[in-house]
């Protein structure tokens, strides 16, 4: 379990980004962190990973002998920047070699992560020739090879098309169940919430609201306000592709929202 206890953080003393945050992240769960830009989502992710340290409060791992900052992988949207190897095999081995893992263990882990991520046969592929979806798989293979048990996905699918995004989600869901992973995902897409167990919403007032399921969040006053920006429902729908707009309409219907007030014909 990851216990975030009374955590506050600022980049400058006159503006707190995170204020008195309390949150529990249970093992083997998929957790969404949502909220407007600038509300502290990425800062929270970096605090959990240990890239940043809270000025106030603590992040406690229990049991401490099973999880720590080193067991957490942080994968951001520009994931291709984290690829350092010339070939797929070079890239997967890089982290393990830095940790001085034995060659016998490296060979074993390489076989495992290639099978888990569907990259068998890609060992000699040059990394710069990989597609976005293949690069995403390689990043997963990299972090699994060094033993990550918690995946922080900070808009990690933002560079993928809809088909690759779907495939990546299915893959991570399968790995979560098979390997006992915990997932913490930052996203502002309602379509991305279907696989989640919980939603934590951060807003500019530094109030944090926790929901036991995506449906509970999206049907709450906060969720409804988040779904419909100031321009109204039609403005929201205009910002989506036709497929995504249909999904938004389906959600709004499910939560009995009065779309006629916003001039949307259903």
Tokens of 171: 């893959």
Q: What is the CA radius of gyration of the chain?
A: 20
Partner residues linked to 76 by β-bridges: 154
Q: Tell me if 34 sits within 8 A of 200, measured CB to CB.
A: yes
- Side-chain half-sphere CA neighbours of 44 within 13 A: 35
Annotated catalytic residue 155: yes
DSSP per position, 111-149: HHHHHHHT-TT-TTSBGGG--HHHHHHHHHHHHHHTT--
Separation CA 69–CA 50 (nearest Å) = 6
Q: Which residue, among 129, 137, 232, 135, has the nearest Cα to 175 in the 3D structure?
A: 137
Q: Tell me if 73 sits within 8 A of 148, measured CB to CB.
A: yes
* CA distances (Å), origin 129, targets 85, 116, 140: 12, 21, 17
Choose the catalytic residue: 105, 155, 185, 247: 155
Q: Which residue, among 59, 35, 63, has the nearest Cα to 48 in the 3D structure?
A: 59
Q: Tell me if 151 sits within 8 A of 181, measured CB to CB.
A: yes
Report, as residue numbers or ranges, the catalytic residues. Answer: 155
């Amino acid at each position: 379990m990851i216990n975030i206890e009374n955590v506050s953080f600022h980049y400058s003393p006159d503006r707190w980004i995170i204020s008195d945050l309390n949150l529990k992240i249970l093992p083997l769960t998929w957790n969404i962190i949502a909220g407007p830009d600038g509300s502290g989502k990425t800062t929270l992710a970096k605090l959990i990973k240990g890239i940043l340290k809270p000025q106030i409060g603590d992040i406690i791992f229990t049991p401490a002998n099973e999880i720590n900052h080193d067991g957490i992988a942080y994968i951001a949207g520009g994931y291709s920047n984290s690829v350092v190897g010339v070939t797929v095999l070079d890239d997967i081995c890089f982290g393990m070699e830095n940790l001085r893992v034995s060659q016998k263990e490296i060979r074993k882990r390489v076989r495992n992560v290639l099978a888990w991520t569907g990259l068998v046969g890609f060992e000699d592929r040059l990394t710069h020739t990989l597609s976005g979806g293949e690069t995403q798989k390689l990043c997963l293979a990299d972090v699994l090879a060094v033993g990550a048990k918690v995946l922080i996905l900070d808009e990690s699918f933002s560079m993928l098309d809809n088909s690759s995004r779907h495939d990546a989600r299915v893959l991570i869901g399968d790995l979560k169940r098979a390997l006992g992973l915990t997932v913490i995902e930052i996203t502002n897409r309602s379509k991305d919430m279907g696989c989640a167990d919980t939603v934590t919403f951060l807003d500019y007032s530094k109030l944090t609201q926790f929901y036991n399921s995506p449906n509970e969040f999206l049907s709450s006053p906060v969720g409804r306000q988040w779904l419909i920006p100031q321009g109204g429902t039609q403005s929201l729908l205009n910002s989506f592709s036709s497929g995504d707009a249909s999904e938004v309409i389906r959600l709004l219907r499910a939560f009995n929202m009065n779309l006629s007030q916003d001039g949307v014909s259903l």
